[in-house]
Amino acid sequence: MTQLMKDRRTVSLADQLFRALGSISANIAEGFSRGTGRDRARFYEYALGSARESRDWYFKVRHVLGNGIVNDRINLLTEIIRLLLTMIPQQRSLVLRDEGGEYEA
């Protein structure tokens, strides 16, 4: 971020990248605290969108940060995306049930 903030041409890119990156973990954390799988999946989908957005912003600033750094970060984001793509369908199909017994009055 510091490198991108030095050049006024990339200040807005730095801001967008910083927000998108922060949104990934914030949405995963919020989703994790939800009570149902469908709620969790919704926040994990938001995190997925932010991870894809972050990957795109890194690609756009590759000329400033250099290919080595950008490739490492894009690879890490790709792993996060893969994990989310696995987690989202699992959470959607997660159903909490009360198996409970029969009640007699």
User: Where on the phi/psi map is residue 34: left (φ > 0), alpha (ψ -120 to 50), or beta?
Assistant: beta
Query: Residue 86 — very low, low, confident or very high, per pLDDT cuts 50/70/90?
Result: very high
pLDDT in tens, 43-85: 999 999 999 999 999 999 998 889 999 999 999 999 999 999 9
pLDDT at 67: 94
**pTM for the whole thing?**
0.82
What CATH homologous superfamily does 10-93 map to? Answer: 23S rRNA-intervening sequence (1.20.1440.60)
Task: Please tell me the total number of residues recorded for the chain in this structure.
Answer: 105
Query: Residue 103 — very low, low, confident or very high, per pLDDT cuts 50/70/90?
Result: low
